[in-house]
A and B are shown apart, each in its own frame.
Chain A
Amino acid sequence: MQTRQLVDAGARWLFFVAAVLSVLILAGIFGMLLFNGSRAFPAISWVQFFFSSNWNPSAYGEPSYGILSMIVSTFLVTIGAMLIAVPLGVGTAAYLAEVASPRVRLFLKPTIELLAAIPSVAIGFIGIVVVGPFLAKVFGLNNGLTALNGAILLAIMSLPTIITVAEDAIYAVPTSFKEASYALGANKWITLIRVILPAAYSGIIAAVILGMGRAIGETMTVLMATGNATAMPRGFFDPVRTMTATIAIELGEVPYHTTHYYSLFAVGAVLFLISLIVNLIAEQIAARYRYKY
């Protein structure tokens, strides 16, 4: 074989190895979380881990490792965020795809990208200095750093994802659907809510689930802006501590290779699985709408 052909074959292998690396990284992350996480379990019982809401690993004598209140907290802020972000995001996506003039679109789309570019620590900062104090004043709370504060901030953070994906889905609805509706005498609004949105339904759901995934995995914003109380929250006006925040707070302080240290990896494994499942569901639903028309 000539040198040129050898180089050609070598290049091919090099690129293949680089691509396979991404599979290895994903497997490595999962494997590492399972391996380190499982080492916490001779000391902690599975039942306590998943069903106790008492997380107090540094208690003298009898430390407890229940993550139930963290899971509830994570879903509380995420669902709150979705209640705010879904109507706003889908509304904005529909506006962009069906109402806005090309000039408005040209301005709005980069603006939304800019919103996505704001680092989460800056959003958390806004939660501390503006949104939290504002909520405290409006609702008469002692402290504005609550689940509600986190939900509002996470809503802002997941808006760009929801808008972009939902707009794609709405845009992908064939023009013939719209024309048929107009031909039957429907106006723009009726066409949008009776024809276009139902046709884009699965894509919009995928957008919402992707936005949820983003909110579940967000760390800095909830760490800074939700008060970080480990107790089981009773509602949106309570401070909460999510899974992400717990890892962020405690990993820096625990000695390596203790039960407490490994238990944080176990929390990470649960978080990883939840976000993996959320992403896979979004992918399945998105794949369905992509091949529909």
Chain B
Amino acid sequence: MRKMIQFIGINSLRLSAIAVLFFLGFILWDIFSKGGSVLSVSFLSDYPRKGMTEGGIFPAIAGTVLVTMVTTLFAIPFGIAAAIYLSEYATDNWVNRLIRAAIRNLAGVPSIIYGLFGVAVFVEGLGLGASVLASGLTLGLLTLPYIITTTEEALKNVPHSWREGALALGATKWESIRTNVLPGAVPGIVTGAILGLSRAAGETAPILFTGVAFYLRYLPSGIHDEFMALPYHLYIMSTQHHAIEVVRPLAYGTALVLLSFVFILNILAFLIRYRYQNKSRI
């Protein structure tokens, strides 16, 4: 009897894990099998045509890449600087506890709230208008807590002896960080940054009102222009288009490209972490 209950119990745990795998497998299978049929070189390199019922998604890909670059330039330096402070300088006092609490809570702020903040502060307050810059900064804020957390983790994994070695040779604290701590943490920082950016690239809510456009005939010529983006393109192709059933294959194709984009970044991060883990076990 006890064996019977144990058998049922353990297998129900196994079943729940299988169910989770099934969800992932199903989503991937559906998008990759149905999106695969529209995928071609011209789908990736063409502009949308005929009211977006034909053609490709090139401007959406370019827009996502561009806005992610702005996010990178903003979030990575600030994120790394804040993480260096928390990992190398911060003692356990109320200011630093407040900083840590703020970062943890920033990570839990809903993405649409970042969108509201972007509208009020970047688009309106600073007068950037709906633009690549306003969207990139908004996504940067969203990514910041993630970059800080992963970078701090990476810095903490650098052995203490590396710091002490530099200090013993007469280096200042900053010199020891620059020459010994940061280089040792690079793989971890890069992994975290890639994962943070892959999230930013897939976000829709923060860019809805800060610069993304339904359809543009030209690529943005600078960071003050509006842009098209992959996640937003998927959103309009599946809910806002006037002929939703007709463009469904194109929506699947867009979903496929978006997922591939995010997964490639994730696999890249995974490989860097994997390679580094095997190397640095001294």
- Enumerate chain A interface residues (CB-CB to B < 8 A): 4-5, 7-8, 11-12, 14-16, 18-23, 25-29, 32-33, 36, 87-89, 91-92, 94-96, 98-100, 108, 110-115, 117-126, 128-130, 156, 159, 163, 187-190, 192-193, 210, 213, 216-220, 223-224, 244, 247-248, 251-252, 256, 264-265, 268, 271-272, 275-276, 278-280, 283
Question: If the complex has contacts A4-B172, A25-B141, A275-B109, are A122 and B234 also in contact, measured as CB distance less than 8 A?
Answer: yes
The A interface, classified by DSSP as helix, strand, loop or mixed, is: helix
Tell whether B24 is near chain A: CB-to-CB under 8 Å. yes
Q: Does B45 contact A (CB under 8 A)?
A: no
Q: In the complex, how many angstroms separate the beta carbon of A75 from the nearest chain B beta carbon?
A: 14
Contact yes or no, A268 B112, CB < 8 A: yes
Q: A23-B99, A264-B116 are in contact. Are A189 and B10 (CB under 8 A)?
A: yes
Tell me the bound Cα distance from A187 to B2 in angstroms: 8
Specify which chain A residues have a CB less than 8 angstroms from the CB of B121 in the assembled complex.
28, 32
Q: Is A122 a contact partner of B27 (Cβ separation < 8 A)?
A: yes
> Which of A119, A130, A189 is packed against the most chain B CB atoms within 10 Å?
A119
In the bound assembly, the distance between CA atoms of A8 and B173 in angstroms comes to: 7
Q: Please determine whether B116 and A251 come into contact, CB atoms closer than 8 angstroms.
A: yes
Given A244-B112, A279-B104, do A115 and B13 touch, yes or no (CB 8 Å)?
no
Q: Once the chains bind, are B82 and A22 in contact (CB under 8 Å)? A: yes
A-side contacts of B108, CB under 8 Å:
210, 213, 217, 275-276, 278-279
Interface size class of B (residues with CB under 8 A): 35 or more
Q: When the two chains form their complex, are residues B238 and A123 in contact, meaning their CB atoms are under 8 A apart? A: no
Query: Which residues of A sit under 8 angstroms from B195, Cβ to Cβ?
Result: 117
CA–CA, A121 and B172, complex, Å: 48
Given the interface pairs A5-B172, A88-B16, A248-B205, the reply to whether A22 lies near B106 with Cβ below 8 Å is yes
30 A-B contact pairs sorted by A residue (CB < 8 Å): A5-B172, A12-B85, A12-B89, A16-B85, A18-B81, A19-B85, A19-B86, A19-B96, A21-B78, A25-B144, A26-B102, A95-B13, A96-B17, A115-B24, A117-B199, A117-B202, A117-B262, A118-B262, A119-B204, A121-B202, A121-B231, A122-B231, A124-B238, A125-B234, A217-B111, A217-B113, A219-B204, A248-B208, A276-B105, A283-B104
Would you call B40 an interface residue if the criterion is a C-beta within 8 Å of the partner chain's C-beta atoms?
no
The 10 A-B pairs with the shortest beta carbon distances in the complex, nearest first, are A217-B110, A119-B202, A91-B16, A18-B81, A15-B85, A189-B6, A279-B108, A8-B172, A11-B174, A95-B13
Contact B81 A88 (CB under 8 A): no
* B interface list, Cβ under 8 A from A: 2-3, 5-6, 9-10, 12-17, 19-21, 23-24, 26-27, 30-31, 78, 81-82, 84-86, 88-90, 96, 98-99, 101-106, 108-117, 119-121, 124, 141, 144-145, 148, 172-175, 177, 195, 198-199, 201-205, 208-209, 231-232, 234-235, 238-239, 248, 251-252, 255, 258-259, 262-263, 266, 270
Chain B residues positioned under 8 Å from A14 (CB to CB): 81
Counting chain B CB atoms within 10 Å of each CB, which of A89, A130, A248 scores highest?
A248
A6 CB, nearest partner CB in chain B, Å: 10
A59 to B143, CA, bound (A): 38
A190 to B104, CA, bound (A): 36
B102 is contacted by which of A23, A89, A100 (Cβ under 8 Å)? Answer: A23
Which one of B13, B16, B102, B110 contacts A22 once the chains associate, using CB atoms below 8 Å?
B102
Contact of B110 among A4, A20, A89, A216 (CB under 8 A): A216
Instruction: For A104, give the chain B residue with the smallest CB separation.
Output: B17
**Which residues of A sit under 8 angstroms from B204, Cβ to Cβ?**
119-121, 219-220
Contacts of A124 in B (CB 8 A): 235, 238
